[in-house]
Amino acid sequence: MGSLDSNMAESVQFKPLDAQEFRKQAHQMVDFIADYYQNIESYPVLTQVEPGFLRSALPDSAPHRPESFETILKDVQEKIIPGITHWLSPNFFAFFPATVSTAGFLGEMLCACFNSVGFNWLASPASTELEIVVMDWLATMLKLPKTFMFSGTGGGVIQNTTSDSILVTLIAARDRALDAVGAENMHKLVVYGSDQTHSTFAKVCKLAGVSPANIRALPTSVDANFSLSPQLLRRAVEADVEAGLVPLFLCATVGTTSTTAVDNVEPLAEVANEYGIWVHVDAAYAGSACICPEFRHYLNGIERVDSFSFSPHKWLLSYLDCCCLWVKQPGLLVKALSTDPEYLKNKPSESNSVVDFKDWQVGTGRRFKSLRLWMVLRSYGVLNLQSHIRSDIRLAKMFEGFVKSDPRFEIVVPRHFALVCFRLNPYPHSGSADTEMLNRKLLDWVNSTGRVYLTHTIVGGLYMLRFAVGASLTDERHVVAAWELIMEGADRLFKGSAF
Amino acid sequence: MGSLDSNMAESVQFKPLDAQEFRKQAHQMVDFIADYYQNIESYPVLTQVEPGFLRSALPDSAPHRPESFETILKDVQEKIIPGITHWLSPNFFAFFPATVSTAGFLGEMLCACFNSVGFNWLASPASTELEIVVMDWLATMLKLPKTFMFSGTGGGVIQNTTSDSILVTLIAARDRALDAVGAENMHKLVVYGSDQTHSTFAKVCKLAGVSPANIRALPTSVDANFSLSPQLLRRAVEADVEAGLVPLFLCATVGTTSTTAVDNVEPLAEVANEYGIWVHVDAAYAGSACICPEFRHYLNGIERVDSFSFSPHKWLLSYLDCCCLWVKQPGLLVKALSTDPEYLKNKPSESNSVVDFKDWQVGTGRRFKSLRLWMVLRSYGVLNLQSHIRSDIRLAKMFEGFVKSDPRFEIVVPRHFALVCFRLNPYPHSGSADTEMLNRKLLDWVNSTGRVYLTHTIVGGLYMLRFAVGASLTDERHVVAAWELIMEGADRLFKGSAF
């Protein structure tokens, strides 16, 4: 490795950020990425590699000496790309899409460019202020009440994920409750969701010290479209109060992960408000749709809740990570999460004239993420973003029509947004296990072709396939081709062809 | 806004990710960024804007119709950049640097390009496996024992920030302890750090439900270079045990935020091991230096701890966010953090043959961050990265020499890495308040010039200036110029010139 001195000599020459080299290599990378986007349909959507494929293809330790950009890019093409599940493929219909856009990418480039760390206002004023502006813009697009906006009495902040959003609001609610009932009553706090609430809710509640026995996953049913019943909530809360417990927090979901079921915010909040329960609305996926007037009704009652989050990285073309959280009482977040070390003290913070976002989140450091949203909102305008939502929903409706037109298939739950939950119908006189087995076989086969990627869920005991439209590159022809492939799978299945 | 139908017509044409447009605009952005890096010295490092500057310069709501890329870029130049604190400026000596590099930027571009969501192995196998490879590479560079490596019995994961790393390890430790002593004894758990431990430690402990009364910030002193005393730790633990409490977790710091003080891991871990206390070592800043053999001794005793984290985004050229966490017993993380919703079930996960990183972190979604580290490690090689660390330390030593050569100044605490803590000496016969006031004035003046940015801290009652070398563009001439500016400030101060 050479002596210290010879390394020192080398160090004088090592320039990690030479503007000329940056320019040259970044241009090459742009072309590499543009080519990837152009050729993305040529890759199998769901990679078919085996566990360990990459570990065995790469050396055990980092190189001592530099390797060329060309060598590394070759490895990206030959070793990395074959092992990627292509989330941006127009034939990706799994989970929910992680949508992207040119403007989002440019915003991400700028965010990295400045690499400013906006833990407080002074550390990078533009970062904090643009976030304030963008969060108010989005709140306006969603017709959130002024009580959630900086221009009103609340405010919003960009978190990494829904988990973070739920965690920080839960902590704020928890600390407010413990102030009232005493910290020794921590074990009495109860939280509420449905059996359709995202699995991260229970995880985050446990993180925050809520007793696992006090996490209520209230049952839903296919008859009520898997929506949480306000009557059931009321009964659960009453029973808990009677048992001497302290109802703390309700997580209502607009657009659940399995089937995009919608909890009816207004009547749920009505119950919660009576008992002083903090209500959070998680609209991670479906929130984006609510920028269209015709879907805004899914947020009816939002003025009665305490916090609301949705993730533009899911459906608003914004790349990961980007979860937008609004709260009515930012002071409660700050009270629960603020720190004040000497080395971060500064006059603007002490004057209380500015927002220090480190006190609205778990970590201290934070990226200049608002740039990405700002670029998306300005580059496309509200009209194009609405069109984008409507176009995905139109394609989902089309797919729904295909399913309905084929008697071998059925729609399992009503479609609200751009997710279609469907399955092969039960054979006459067959059991549900057979139906599930057939549908599993169908899913395995279509995914094994590499031509599409779909996932499944089981809700209310029913195994179903999920067809989530919305990848940024998806067009009508991809949806048509996916349906044809699914029909081919059904044909093979029913004709008993080898899979 | 037009009818739904006319919007639908528009929607057919809106292509958020057109490869040709992407190519064109991303090339323009590369030039914009390269120009910014080239001209970065022309901007005031610490922006001089007033609170509200940007909010008042931007419209109240998002535009309805698209705006051109040129218009937006003009706003970045004229409205955003003037409000940025330029963390990448070679004259940025505040906090700790957030270091960057061409390779890191290219890795970030690739990460955005794929936008894959690697919550479990199948969701993007290359993302998980490259992270495994890179974490083992880094562990090897740091000479971590095999007990922390995937090729041994442990493993590592990329978190966003140190706060996340401490949170997840604390939860794993907490749940293990509660299994042993019963959940009803939550209020008996005690955690330990020093008065120099990062402020996020107490915040995260409170998040996890540790009683604020049980968070021990053990005092340090200037005589012991603000290092946590193992004897003091032992006495505190013994007292807590005697009081019927349950010692849970120790956060030792290698390179504290205020002064880069170093807690001596080996004897602290010895005490902790005796009492079954989980030991986490937070080397957020200084961990990077430990890739050089001559600094590795700061990690002596690391084989006795349970978890270790450092942030390559601080000193290893890797852009935000990137905190690397290793644990000896990944199973404890998974036990505390795993979720298993139906819609994420898949054969590789069920076979237990793969790593699902969602179970190692708070959130579900996660970016393909290992690409950034992999690009940095390969593009520069271990030798250049070591040279980069040594070069920064050489420049800090040079600055230390300047300070020592001027009798008006003193070094307040010994320099370990590339941070120099110094101050104007007390006037003879003056009080400490006068000294602090003088130093505050000096700091305000040098920062007001916009030519450098330094921050301060107060430790052991001593107000001091922090000069942190390491921004990726900093050369010898910038350090020399900064010192000359500081001397000019002192001259003005002592000559009574107007500031």
Name the token pair of A26: 């970044």
Measured between beta carbons, which residues in chain B are less than 8 angstroms from residue A26? Answer: 30, 33-34, 102, 105-106, 109
Measured between beta carbons, which residues in chain A are less than 8 angstroms from residue B83? Answer: 124-126, 129
Three-state secondary structure of chain B: CCCHHHHHHHHHHCCCCCHHHHHHHHHHHHHHHHHHHHHHHHCCCCCCCCCCCCHHHCCCCCCCCCCCHHHHHHHHHHHHHHHCCCCCCCCECCCCCCCCCHHHHHHHHHHHHHCCCCCCCCCCHHHHHHHHHHHHHHHHHCCCCHHHCCCCCCEEEEECCHHHHHHHHHHHHHHHHHHHHCHHHHHHEEEEEECCCCHHHHHHHHHCCCCHHHEEEECCCHHHCCCCCHHHHHHHHHHHHHCCCEEEEEEEEECCCCCCCECCHHHHHHHHHHCCCEEEEECCCHHHHHHCHHHHHHHCCHHHCCEEEECHHHHCCCCCCCEEEEECCHHHHHHHHCCCCHHHCCHHHHCCCCCCHHHHCCCCCCCCCHHHHHHHHHHHHHHHHHHHHHHHHHHHHHHHHHHHHCCCEEECCCCCCCEEEEEECCCCCCCHHHHHHHHHHHHHHHHHCCCCECEEEEECCEEEEEEECCCCCCCHHHHHHHHHHHHHHHHHHHCCCCC
Measured in angstroms, the CA of A73 and the nearest CA of chain B are apart by 9
Provide the H-helix boundaries in A340-414.
Answer: 347-350, 370-405
Contacts of A29 (CB under 8 A, 6+ apart): A73, B106, B109, B110
pLDDT at position A427: 76
User: What's the pLDDT tens digit per position in A131-190?
Assistant: 999 999 999 999 999 999 999 999 999 999 999 999 999 999 999 999 999 998 999 999
Measured in angstroms, the CA of A234 and the nearest CA of chain B are apart by 26
Contacts of B499 (CB under 8 A, 6+ apart): B441, B444, B445, B448, B492, B493
Residues A73 and B110: beta-carbon distance below 8 Å: no
Write down the CATH number for the domain with range B116-367: 3.40.640.10
Residues A187 and A211: beta-carbon distance below 8 Å: yes
Which of these, A154, A97, A365, A246, lies nearest to B162 by C-alpha position? A365
Contact A1 B130 (CB under 8 A): no
pLDDT at position B499: 53
**Nearest Cβ partner for B377 among A16, A62, A387:** A62
Contact B377 A63 (CB under 8 A): yes
Measured in angstroms, the CA of B408 and the nearest CA of chain A are apart by 23
Exposure of A407 by Cβ count < 10 A (0-12 exposed, 13-18 middle, 19+ buried)? exposed
Q: How far apart are CA B226 and CA B353, in angstroms?
A: 45
Q: Which amino acid is at A266?
A: E
pLDDT at position A431: 73
pLDDT at position A433: 78
Contact A16 B103 (CB under 8 A): yes
pLDDT class of A460 with cuts at 50, 70, 90: very high
**Structure-derived torsion over alpha carbons of residues B288, B292, B293, B298, reported in degrees to the nearest 10:** -30
Measured in angstroms, the CA of A38 and the nearest CA of chain B are apart by 6
pLDDT class of A484 with cuts at 50, 70, 90: very high
Contact B126 A47 (CB under 8 A): yes
Note the ipTM here. 0.96
Contact B19 A1 (CB under 8 A): no
pLDDT at position B494: 87
How many A-B residue pairs are in contact by the CB < 8 A criterion? 510
Measured in angstroms, the CA of B297 and the nearest CA of chain A are apart by 16
Chain A residue with minimum CA distance to B110: A33
Measured between beta carbons, which residues in chain B are less than 8 angstroms from residue A127? Answer: 84
pLDDT at position B432: 74
Contact B62 A140 (CB under 8 A): yes
Beta strands B409-411 and B419-424, pairing class? antiparallel
DSSP helix/strand/coil, A326:
strand
| pLDDT tens-place values along chain B, 499 residues long | 334 444 444 444 799 999 999 999 999 999 999 999 999 999 999 998 999 999 999 999 999 999 999 999 999 999 999 999 999 999 999 999 999 999 999 999 999 999 999 999 999 999 999 999 999 999 999 999 999 999 999 999 999 999 999 999 999 999 999 999 999 899 999 999 999 999 999 999 999 999 999 999 999 999 999 999 999 999 999 999 999 999 999 999 999 999 999 999 999 999 999 999 999 999 999 999 999 999 999 999 999 999 999 999 999 999 999 999 999 999 999 999 999 999 999 999 999 889 999 999 999 999 999 999 999 999 999 999 999 999 999 999 999 999 999 999 999 999 999 999 999 998 776 777 789 999 999 999 999 999 999 999 999 999 999 999 999 999 999 999 999 999 999 999 988 654 5
pLDDT class of A430 with cuts at 50, 70, 90: confident
DSSP helix/strand/coil, A177:
helix
Contact B341 A257 (CB under 8 A): yes
Measured between beta carbons, which residues in chain A are less than 8 angstroms from residue B211? Answer: 183
Sheet holding A419-424, edge to edge: A409-411, A419-424, A462-468, A455-459
Measured between beta carbons, which residues in chain B are less than 8 angstroms from residue A184? Answer: 187
Measured in angstroms, the CA of A103 and the nearest CA of chain B are apart by 8
Query: What does the mean pLDDT of chain B come to?
Result: 95
Contact A136 B60 (CB under 8 A): yes
Contact B26 A102 (CB under 8 A): yes
What distance lies between CA B161 and its chain's CA centroid? 6
Chain B residue with minimum CA distance to A70: B379
Q: How far apart are CA A2 and CA B132, in angstroms?
A: 29
pLDDT class of A256 with cuts at 50, 70, 90: very high
CA-only gyration radius of chain B, Å: 25
DSSP helix/strand/coil, A193:
strand
Distance of CA A12 to CAs A76, A478, B72, B477, Å?
30, 54, 38, 12
Domain boundaries of chain B, sorted by first residue: 116-367
Query: If you search the block for the tokens 């998980």, which residue do you land on?
Result: B128
Q: What is the mean pLDDT of residues A48-61?
A: 95
Measured between beta carbons, which residues in chain A are less than 8 angstroms from residue B108? Answer: 108, 112
Q: How far apart are CA A311 and CA B73, in angstroms?
A: 25
Query: What does the mean pLDDT of chain A come to?
Result: 95
Q: How far apart are CA A41 and CA A209, in angstroms?
A: 46
pLDDT for A2 beyond 50: no
pLDDT at position B496: 66
Whether the ω angle into residue A321 lies within 30 degrees of 0, i.e. cis, is yes
Q: How far apart are CA B158 and CA B131, in angstroms?
A: 8
**Nearest Cβ partner for B19 among A19, A38, A340:** A38
Measured between beta carbons, which residues in chain B are less than 8 angstroms from residue A130? Answer: 54, 58, 80
Chain B residue with minimum CA distance to A162: B363
**Structure-derived torsion over alpha carbons of residues A14, A17, A23, A26, reported in degrees to the nearest 10:** 100
pLDDT at position A11: 43
Q: Got the DSSP string for A136-174?
A: HHHHHHTT--GGGSTTTT-EEEEESSHHHHHHHHHHHHH
